[in-house]
């Protein structure tokens, strides 16, 4: 699209301004309005940045209309069914799938960094016993910059890589430690003989007096969930990491900021909201009544885990996770659990009811992930933590991409000011 432009006309003044069109390898083109204020003296207004491209990126591509999700060009359907999580992590970080020697080296590197500094135990013990695990995660991840002064130069490519490896390696250890602290059990050390997902399950559920050996279906489900949640383009938390990183902040602070953004119920807390919804419905006999409530625009009840802000078609991740969800429920869950029976009834109705089908309100990845985590024995307050462990790979990939971009500038959104115009200070006696 070389030399192609778009013209913006100010109908108040009659002035017109030409701006270049930028295009990527796939997807819609973008009008480069970076000089709009300088040339025309106006800003653009785009709440939620729904029509604004904030960066160039070669990591993830989403086509919401056709339900497409690509990691570095690879369809999520292929990666989720054929790759390991660390294989996908390597792909997101470095741009290509690893050959065997590269993958072995990467796995060893990540495994070598899973241990935490022993002094972090004291930090963890400083949190109240019933602190939310996400609160602990934010605090501990942010504190890592106090322990690793040897690799904090954000302008050094090797330092950035080391920090990325440390974050990917240590997040499962920190997450499991946060869970152990919340239930009063001793922290379990990572084991170098276990794969990434199995190691995480070990740290979550083993105790010093009892070995935990995850089933193959549990490890498979965790690997799948981590891959599906590894990245999702310029979402709220990823944009938060990029915005924090644009100031030159260290990567641990940037990822802590991303975790804080992820905690919101409109973002990473959605799968927890699914379980809350199921508990509210309570029983299969109430499903039809709640479905009618969901159709009533004047009723505050909303079906959680159905439809998606980006995907106007079926969430491609949901197609993959649905099959594994049913496998997990069949093998690990109590099939008499009314919660799971209720979830499957909701799924059945949503996939066949004309109202939901017409509006493409299909079950999304959050609907199934919450059910799987519950079946694996992971408590609801840990659901968003699990999301953070997986999404760390995407966050550090975007952070590294941004920091290596010579055109990187500190983020500085504009605003439309609605406050008072200039006025003079009055002494308190005259106000």
- Residues assigned a catalytic role: 308, 366
Spell out a b/e string for 74-96, using b for 16 or more CB atoms within 10 Å of the CB, else e: bebeebbeebbbbbbbbbbbeee
Alpha-helical runs (H) found in 229-381: 236-245, 251-262, 270-281, 287-295, 316-331, 338-350, 354-358, 365-375
Rounded distance between C-alpha atoms, residue 170 and residue 116, angstroms: 7
Can you tell me the distance from the alpha carbon of 304 to that of 95, in angstroms, rounded to the nearest whole number? 34
The Cα 200–Cα 172 span in angstroms is 6
The answer to whether 69 and 316 are in contact (CB under 8 A) is: yes
- For residue 65 the two structure tokens come to 């209309």
Helices of type H across 376-419: 383-403
- As given in the structure block, the two tokens for residue 154 are 């954000």
What does the longest C-alpha to C-alpha distance in the chain come to? Answer: 78
Tokens of 207: 């105790």
Any long-range contacts for 318-321 (C-beta under 8 Å, 24+ apart)?
Answer: 318/362, 318/363, 318/364, 318/365, 318/367, 318/368, 319/77, 320/76, 320/77, 320/80, 320/81, 320/224, 320/228, 321/224, 321/225, 321/228, 321/365, 321/368, 321/369, 321/372
Could you say which DSSP state residue 13 is in?
T
- Please give the full DSSP string across 203-217, using - where no structure is assigned: HHH-BTTB-----HH
Q: What are phi and psi of 428, to 5 degrees?
A: -60, -30
């Amino acid at each position: 699209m070389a030399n192609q432009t778009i013209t913006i006309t100010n109908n108040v003044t009659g002035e017109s301004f030409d701006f270049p069109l930028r295009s990527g390898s796939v997807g819609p083109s973008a009008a480069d309005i970076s000089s709009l204020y300088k040339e025309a003296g106006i800003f653009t207004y785009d709440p939620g940045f729904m029509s604004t491209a904030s960066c160039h990126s070669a990591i993830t591509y989403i086509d919401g209309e056709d339900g497409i999700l690509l990691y570095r060009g690879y369809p999520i359907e292929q990666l989720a069914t054929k790759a390991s999580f660390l294989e996908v992590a390597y792909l997101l970080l470095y741009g290509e799938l690893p050959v065997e020697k590269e993958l072995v080296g990467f796995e060893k590197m990540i495994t070598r960094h899973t241990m935490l500094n022993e002094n972090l135990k004291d930090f963890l013990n400083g949190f109240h016993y019933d602190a939310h695990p996400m609160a602990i995660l934010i605090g501990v991840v942010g504190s890592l910059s106090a322990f690793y002064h040897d690799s904090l130069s954000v302008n050094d490519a090797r330092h950035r890589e080391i920090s990325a490896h440390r974050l990917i390696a240590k997040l499962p250890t920190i997450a499991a430690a946060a869970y152990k602290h919340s239930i009063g059990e001793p922290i379990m050390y990572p084991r170098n003989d276990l794969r990434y997902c199995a190691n995480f399950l070990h740290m979550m559920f083993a105790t010093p007096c009892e070995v935990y050996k995850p089933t193959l279906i549990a490890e498979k489900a965790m690997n799948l969930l981590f891959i599906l949640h590894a990245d999702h383009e310029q979402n709220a938390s990823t944009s938060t990491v990029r915005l924090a990183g644009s100031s030159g902040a260290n990567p641990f602070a940037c990822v802590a900021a991303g975790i804080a953004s992820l905690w919101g119920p409109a973002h990473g807390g959605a799968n927890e909201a699914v379980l809350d919804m199921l508990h509210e419905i309570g029983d299969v006999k109430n499903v039809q009544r709640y479905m009618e409530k969901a159709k009533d625009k004047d009723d505050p009840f909303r079906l959680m885990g159905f439809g998606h802000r980006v995907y106007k078609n079926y969430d491609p991740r949901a197609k993959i996770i649905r099959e594994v969800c049913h496998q997990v429920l069949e093998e690990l869950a109590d099939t008499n659990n009314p919660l799971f029976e209720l979830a499957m009834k909701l799924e059945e109705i949503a996939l066949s009811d004309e109202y939901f089908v017409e509006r493409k309100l299909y079950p999304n990845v959050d609907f199934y992930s919450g059910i799987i985590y519950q079946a694996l024995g992971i408590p609801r307050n840990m659901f968003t933590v699990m999301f953070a462990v997986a999404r760390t790979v995407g966050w550090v990939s975007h952070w590294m991409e941004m920091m290596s971009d010579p055109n990187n500038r500190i983020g500085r959104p504009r605003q439309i000011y609605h406050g008072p115009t200039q006025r003079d200070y009055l002494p308190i006696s005259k106000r």
